[in-house]
């Protein structure tokens, strides 16, 4: 199918600033109690450059664009029928508040199951910081349930 043209073609890089206030907001939203995730002074006292981004935060940063569903729409997926089925992170270096992270996403696979009832998309993203270090590589699988 024509959608296969998007597979294994890295999308243009997305550059995102890691904001102090948004990390504080995230910590509040998930009920975080460890201050290295919301208090810059205490994070620095604990030896961190700034507030530490929690383990799943790269996905949140990757959504910090006008339309985070642009790539799934490109594949003709109905976002209202979208479910997240798998998420995997490999970690190489921490992400901190005030960092600038560059994301490069690649669709690895796009396939259907159940005679077209389920449409899957697998995407891998690399996130590098302002020093060019790979911070994390993460992979997500989403499925659209087609009635």
Which stretches of the chain bind other proteins, using CB under 8 A? 22, 25-26, 28-36, 42, 46, 52, 54-56, 59-61, 63-64, 68-69, 79-91, 94
User: Which three-class secondary structure state does DSSP give residue 47?
Assistant: coil
Question: Is 34 or 109 the residue whose CB approaches other proteins more closely?
Answer: 34
In angstroms and rounded to an integer, the radius of gyration of the C-alpha atoms of the chain is: 17
Closest approach of other proteins to the CB of residue 8, in Å: 21
DSSP state of 49: S
d(CA 97, CA 95): 7
Closest approach of other proteins to the CB of residue 65, in Å: 8
Closest approach of other proteins to the CB of residue 31, in Å: 6
d(CA 141, CA 113): 13
Tokens representing residue 61 in the block: 């940063």
Contact 104, 10 (CB under 8 A): yes
Question: Is 6 or 89 the residue whose CB approaches other proteins more closely?
Answer: 89
Closest approach of other proteins to the CB of residue 32, in Å: 7
Question: Is 4 or 133 the residue whose CB approaches other proteins more closely?
Answer: 133
Question: Is 83 or 134 the residue whose CB approaches other proteins more closely?
Answer: 83
Phi, psi torsion values for 130, nearest 5 degrees: -65, -10
């Amino acid at each position: 199918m024509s959608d296969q043209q998007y597979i294994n073609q890295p999308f243009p890089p997305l550059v995102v600033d890691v904001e102090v206030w948004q990390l504080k907001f995230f910590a509040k939203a998930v009920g975080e109690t460890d201050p290295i995730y919301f208090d810059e002074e205490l994070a620095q006292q604990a030896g961190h450059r700034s507030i530490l981004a929690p383990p799943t935060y790269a996905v949140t940063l990757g959504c910090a664009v006008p339309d985070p569903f642009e790539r799934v729409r490109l594949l003709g997926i109905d976002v209202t029928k979208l479910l997240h089925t798998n998420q995997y992170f490999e970690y190489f270096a921490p992400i901190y508040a005030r960092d600038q992270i560059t994301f490069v996403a690649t669709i690895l696979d796009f396939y259907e199951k159940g005679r077209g009832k389920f449409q899957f998309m697998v995407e891998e993203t690399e996130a590098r910081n302002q020093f060019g270090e790979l911070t994390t590589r993460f992979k997500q699988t989403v499925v659209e349930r087609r009635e």
